[in-house]
Amino acid sequence: MTILVVAEHENGAVAPATLNTVAAAAKIGGDIHVLVAGQNVGGVAEAATKIAGVSKVLVADNAAYAHALPENVAPLVVELAKAYSHVLAPATTNGKNILPRVAALLDVDQISEIISVESADTFKRPIYAGNAIATVQSSAAVKVITVRTTGFDAVAAEGGSAAVEAVAAAHDAGKSSFVGEELAKSDRPELTAAKIVVSGGRGMGNGDNFKHLYSLADKLGAAVGASRAAVDAGFVPNDMQVGQTGKIVAPQLYIAVGISGAIQHLAGMKDSKVIVAINKDEEAPIFQVADYGLVADLFEAVPELEKLV
């Protein structure tokens, strides 16, 4: 059994999500190869050789693979996939964009967002916004799977010594092109990888009030998230959204401030180790999952919390 992991990378570095995906591959067992596709990705490939447990790094360095356009990357993965028993990618927007296209071209079902590996062909994944856990078995010749990164502890980024092999294949479908991107800039830790997350909801009232959460987060070394209500109200950009349709987080500590706790939001954070809720409505559903609840006005509680930690 040999497993191909499609690496997620950005700005010339291997993204942390790749390390969780390699961890899932290690649970399946067998040789683990990592594919680094992109343009000028020599540095990323070099970093990928050091990931613990990886035996080979395949490098597809071509202008067609820049920005991970699925029309070009999927045929590359399909061409390589035939030699593998499993193809894995993290369930990031890139992984979700590319892998179903790969699966359809291989004429197999894809299994989305696995949270555990039961055996080489059996996996667990959440359905209905995390309100049920399905155990699914695949009979596909090549099992195509995306991995929920919060379900697996990352492997070490250092210590490995994989061989590098260049992949010559260039696929350019010529059907899509990259126009531009607008990336949100932040000095705080990445939301899905942070140990502590402070999230605000509609109760914040407006975008300006999020400054209270930012200063608390900076003191805790935390990332800042938001509920859909806060995003839809325009308080913060959408890439901060935690939930079924946003990002899935499972930090050591999740502090929900002014968030009622709709099913959609809980789906994104209920696997956090410790959940704290600060809300003035003591009937809010968030208190049913919170380890520590504080019924208080957030505008008094948050500054006080910042002072005391």
Partner 1 sequence: MKVLVAVKRVVDYNVKVRVKADNSGVDLANVKMSMNPFCEIAVEEAVRLKEKGVASEIVVVSVGPATAQEQLRTALALGADRAILVEAADELNSLAVAKALKAVVDKEQPQLVILGKQAIDSDNNQTGQMLAALTGYAQGTFASKVEVAGDKVNVTREIDGGLQTVSLSLPAIVTTDLRLNEPRYASLPNIMKAKKKPLETITPDALGVSLASTTKTLKVEAPAARSAGIKVKSVAELVEKLKNEAKVI
Q: Considering only residues 65-84, where is the footprint of partner 1 by CB under 8 A?
A: 67, 69-71, 74
132 belongs to the binding site for partner 1 (CB under 8 A): yes
CB of 138 to partner 1, least distance (A): 5
For partner 1, which residue of 85, 94, 149, 150 counts as binding (CB under 8 A)?
94
Helix (H, G, I), strand (E, B) or coil at 61: strand
296 belongs to the binding site for partner 1 (CB under 8 A): yes
295 belongs to the binding site for partner 1 (CB under 8 A): yes
289 belongs to the binding site for partner 1 (CB under 8 A): yes
- Residue 212 or 228: the one with the smaller Cβ distance to partner 1 is 228
179 belongs to the binding site for partner 1 (CB under 8 A): yes
Q: Are 16 and 46 in contact (CB under 8 A)?
A: no
- Residue 168 or 184: the one with the smaller Cβ distance to partner 1 is 184
> Could you tell me which of 39, 57, 61 has the C-alpha nearest to residue 48?
57
**Terminus-to-terminus CA distance in the chain, angstroms?**
49
Q: Are 279 and 259 in contact (CB under 8 A)?
A: yes
CB of 222 to partner 1, least distance (A): 9
Q: Are 254 and 197 in contact (CB under 8 A)?
A: yes
- Residue 38 or 53: the one with the smaller Cβ distance to partner 1 is 38
> Could you tell me which of 283, 258, 275, 266 has the C-alpha nearest to residue 206?
258
Helix (H, G, I), strand (E, B) or coil at 215: helix
Angle at 190 between CA 20 and CA 36, to 5 degrees: 45
CB of 163 to partner 1, least distance (A): 30
21 belongs to the binding site for partner 1 (CB under 8 A): no
44 belongs to the binding site for partner 1 (CB under 8 A): no
* Furthest C-alpha separation in the chain: 61
> Could you tell me which of 259, 245, 247, 202 has the C-alpha nearest to residue 223?
247
CB of 48 to partner 1, least distance (A): 19
Q: CB under 8 A: which stretch of 22-30, 44-52, 167-175, 210-218 binds partner 1?
A: 167-175
CB of 37 to partner 1, least distance (A): 16
CB of 96 to partner 1, least distance (A): 5
Residue 48's CB is within 10 A of a number of other CB atoms, namely 28
- What does the block give as tokens for 209? 């009030």
Helix (H, G, I), strand (E, B) or coil at 96: helix
220 belongs to the binding site for partner 1 (CB under 8 A): yes
112 belongs to the binding site for partner 1 (CB under 8 A): yes
281 belongs to the binding site for partner 1 (CB under 8 A): no
CB of 107 to partner 1, least distance (A): 8
Neighbouring-strand partners of residue 277? 256, 293
Question: Interface mask (CB under 8 A) for partner 1, residues 246-265, using x and -?
Answer: -x----xx---------xx-
CB of 128 to partner 1, least distance (A): 5
Helix (H, G, I), strand (E, B) or coil at 12: coil
Residue 105's CB is within 10 A of a number of other CB atoms, namely 15
161 belongs to the binding site for partner 1 (CB under 8 A): no
CB of 251 to partner 1, least distance (A): 9
Residue 212 to residue 54: CA distance in whole angstroms: 43
88 belongs to the binding site for partner 1 (CB under 8 A): no
- Residue 110 or 199: the one with the smaller Cβ distance to partner 1 is 110
Q: Are 277 and 295 in contact (CB under 8 A)?
A: no
